[in-house]
Amino acid sequence: MASYRFLEFELSEEDFTLSRRGQRTALEPKALRVLTLLVSRAGHLVDKQELLSSVWPGTFVEENTLTRTIGILRRELGDSSRDSKIIETVPTRGYRFIAPVEILSQPSQLHSAIASAEEETKTTPAPSVPVRSATLLLIALCTVAIITSVAAFLIYRANGKHGAQTEHHLTEQRVTSNSPEAPVDSAVTSPDGKFVAYSDPTGLYLRVIASGETRSWGLPKDFIARPNSWFPDGTHLLVMRWTGTPPAPSLWKLSLFGAAPQKLIDNAVSGSVSPDGTRIAFTSFLPYWGSELRVMGADGSSPHKIAEASQGVNPQSGILSSAWSPNSRRIACIERYAFAGLTPAAGLSSLWTRDADGGDLQVIFNNSWLGPALAWATDGRILFSTRSTPANERDDEDIRSIRVDEGSGKTVGLQQVVTTGAGPIGGISVTSDGKRLILSRTNSRDQAFISEFDANTRKWKTPRRLTLDANGNQATAWLPDSKTVLFVSNRNGKWTLYKQAIDETTADVLVEGHSLYLPRLSADGLHVLYGSQPDPANPAAPVSLMRLPVGGGPPELVARDVGLGNYQCARRPSTLCIIHKQQKGDCIFLSFDPKRGIGNELLRTHDGCHDWSLSPDGRTLADFPDGRHKIRLFSIDEGGGREAKRVTLNDWSFGFGDWSVDGKGLLVPSFTPAGTPVILEVNRAGKASVVLEGAAGTEFDFMIQAPNGHYGILGAAVPGDNNAWMVDNF
């Protein structure tokens, strides 16, 4: 066995001991074995699966056990995960020992033979080797081959047929080729894998995969439907349809043979048909999207609740998707818990399973990077989407798998990467034989547009892009000149703060950092305010409110606390700035000063935190409590706040809004019954009028008017290459 030296340490492979300057270092045996394997392979990636199977052979352990062990080693060696000099993390794959290593004693005869053979191959072409030496070398190499084969077989048997795909990701094959003007928003494979049903703003379609032949489903023009799931007979499709004013979703059953559509249930989304065809799982739309997981008969009979989304967070929390186990007895779900912070990572998602009657909850794992896409393959693997590299703040997602026992709902294997690609994944579906997978990639990006206000018509003119960069760009503030905007962008892989004049095409970097978000302007116009979350993987970690002098200078801390969320300042002559803090089920509105920090409590509500906006004069706070069609108006002064009025718009659905520059009304994003995005101007009496209309397939997020009233920042989600893709033999 070999022994090694690195830095001030010596490591013996013979008895797994670590010493420092002659003094033995106390480490648990498993940690020493992990260290030995890494050191013996210094400079090379050691896969997580290899570490787990080598150090914990024949035993199932969670991946976080290895993570904790690496943490113990780093602490003992004086290393850091943020600026590693000894053990490098290779995201999603494994670890690499990067410190210089010196071999103090030679390894075993087998290792020596391999090393000699490699050296001879490098230095001497076609050497003349004595018969005895050649025989010994052959024996050594054969021994290596046998050991390698046995190890490979053991890993194969331990992890199943698909357990070794971490290094070799499968290729996605394009199924649809829609342009950004007609983005595919949902796609599902038929049980036999011959067809894909997909929808875009123009309708619902059926494509034959082998030939590429595509035909419209032949629905009425006003029947806007998104495919959710096929029935196991392969001739019926479960779709979600939007109807009414304001639009509300319902689930319908369609037939391939032209029978009339059959409505199953109202106020329902994200339907999934069980493999045996007897039941449908879905999430409720009221009181908010995904508030409950429900199950009903395949004909819509006997709907009943089996689980409820976590309460006391905010209306953006909810159950996003569900998938049945192959035996139709358990349901897997993705649940997202949205927190008060506004950073792109301000939320935690959970993958869990429970039996179809609502009992026996089993949490598979929680993290901040889990997407909504979910499927359960016939071989027991749950397929899900997650961000490709957590350190990179772009939205590219992988499909990964984890094997789960469908009887107990517990994991029986480790995560494996199935496929990688560009953009988020909106949905996953799998054929009944488990050989074909269809996914939809939703390459929509938040973009900033500039629109000009027409005072004669009181409408906004056709918007134009602020920047030509196609990555995420979120502009939320104007400088006092009404000619320059502040925005954050992930164009360099991390959310960075920029400023740009509206008549320019390039931007200037103001602050580089990690997870910067929501630039605002102080009341006096002298400081840029922005948020920062140093640890976006931990939504419960404190977030920081920072200030940056407009005239130049370093950033400075305004406040740092857990649960800080939206913040906004009024305009001169008011000096009021407000920030909210989530505290259990309460939302606390606090005054703050950009130089002196947090001040007094002004207002407290008891139904969680929602989107809100402070009027320019600082006297009224508009709150959007139900995420659908209500606005609460609170009167605000330095002594506190009280509810003054409620506004209800029954004909429109919305959940966000910002005050117009004159403070007479709110600019509110919504949709028409046909799905066209609009900006509404809603006055204090509750009268709404359309002031901007967009294109189908686009979603408006907000409109923020410049101080001079002539221009506005329009935030919109713009589709890119939104299409369906296929993976075979995964």
What CATH number should be reported for the domain holding residue 40?
1.10.10.10
Residues 306 and 369 occupy one common structural domain: yes
Q: Which of residues 98, 126, 158 is at a domain's end?
A: 158
Highest mean pLDDT among 83-87, 219-223, 462-466: 462-466
Q: How far apart are the first and last CA of the chain?
A: 40
**415 confidence band (pLDDT: 50, 70, 90):** confident
Query: Which pLDDT belongs to residue 47?
Result: 86
Is 638 part of a structural domain of the chain?
yes
Residues 337 and 240 occupy one common structural domain: yes
**pTM greater than 0.85 (yes/no):** no
Query: Which pLDDT belongs to residue 364?
Result: 92
Q: What is the mean pLDDT of residues 651-656?
A: 87
CA distance 369 to 515: 14
| 484 SS3 class | strand
Token readout for 281 is: 């799982």
Is 116 part of a structural domain of the chain?
yes
CA distance 99 to 596: 46
pLDDT at 143 over 70: no
Residues 413 and 319 occupy one common structural domain: yes
Residue 673 CB-density burial (10 A; 0-12 exposed, 13-18 middle, 19+ buried): middle
Beta strand 236-243 with 248-255 is: antiparallel
Percent of the chain residues past pLDDT 90, beyond the cut? 52
Query: Which pLDDT belongs to residue 309?
Result: 86
Return left, alpha or beta for 409; rule: phi > 0 is left, psi -120 to 50 is alpha, else beta. Answer: left
CA distance 351 to 365: 6
- Top pLDDT among 464 and 394 is at 464
Residues 120 and 83 occupy one common structural domain: no
Query: Which pLDDT belongs to residue 59?
Result: 67
487's enclosing H/E stretch is strand 484-489
CA distance 648 to 629: 6
Provide the angle, in degrees to the nearest 10, between the axes of the packed helices 29-40 and 63-77.
Answer: 80
Token readout for 361 is: 């909850």
Residues 312 and 433 occupy one common structural domain: yes
CA distance 428 to 323: 10
Query: Which pLDDT belongs to residue 637?
Result: 77
Total residue count of the chain as it appears in this document: 730
- Top pLDDT among 667 and 41 is at 667
* Helix segments in 107-217, DSSP class H: 109-123, 131-159
Query: Which pLDDT belongs to residue 537?
Result: 55
Is 599 part of a structural domain of the chain?
yes
pLDDT at 389 over 50: yes
User: For residues 674 and 224, is the Cβ–Cβ distance under 8 A?
Assistant: yes
Residues 490 and 412 occupy one common structural domain: no
User: For residues 725 and 441, is the Cβ–Cβ distance under 8 A?
Assistant: yes
Residues 184 and 237 occupy one common structural domain: yes
* Other C-beta atoms lying within 10 Å of the C-beta of residue 129: 15
DSSP code for 123: H
Instruction: Give the lowest-confidence range in 49-53, 520-524, 596-600, 720-724.
Output: 49-53
Give the mean pLDDT of the chain: 84
Domain that holds residue 45: 1-107
CA distance 684 to 91: 51
User: For residues 432 and 191, is the Cβ–Cβ distance under 8 A?
Assistant: yes
> What CATH number corresponds to the domain at position 417?
2.120.10.30
Domain tally for the chain? Answer: 4
Place of tokens 């075993």: 108
Residue 474, strand partner residues: 488
Q: Tell me how far CA of residue 335 lies from CA of 283, 348, 377, in angstroms.
A: 11, 9, 20
Give the angle 199-204-205 at the CA atoms, nearest 5°.
Answer: 95
Residues 278 and 186 occupy one common structural domain: yes
**255 confidence band (pLDDT: 50, 70, 90):** very high
Percent of the chain residues past pLDDT 70, beyond the cut? 86
**703 confidence band (pLDDT: 50, 70, 90):** very high
In 3-state terms the chain splits into helix, strand, coil percentages (rounded to 5) of 10, 45, 45
**Residues ≥6 apart with Cβ < 8 Å to 590:** 578, 579, 580, 581, 598, 599, 600, 601, 602
Residues 244 and 268 occupy one common structural domain: yes
> Which tens digit of pLDDT belongs to each residue from 487-508?
999 888 888 999 999 999 899 9
Query: Which pLDDT belongs to residue 146?
Result: 34
User: For residues 541 and 562, is the Cβ–Cβ distance under 8 A?
Assistant: yes
Is 574 part of a structural domain of the chain?
yes
Is 284 part of a structural domain of the chain?
yes
Q: Which of residues 88, 107, 126 is at a domain's end?
A: 107
Residues 310 and 432 occupy one common structural domain: yes
Is 133 part of a structural domain of the chain?
yes
CA distance 97 to 38: 6
Is 499 part of a structural domain of the chain?
yes
Is 95 part of a structural domain of the chain?
yes
Q: What is the mean pLDDT of residues 638-649?
A: 82
DSSP code for 138: H
User: Whose CA is closest to 286, among 272, 266, 270, 301?
Assistant: 266
Residues 33 and 65 occupy one common structural domain: yes
Residues 114 and 94 occupy one common structural domain: no
Q: What is the mean pLDDT of residues 289-306?
A: 94
- Top pLDDT among 154 and 434 is at 434
User: For residues 146 and 691, is the Cβ–Cβ distance under 8 A?
Assistant: no
User: Whose CA is closest to 497, among 466, 469, 468, 476?
Assistant: 476
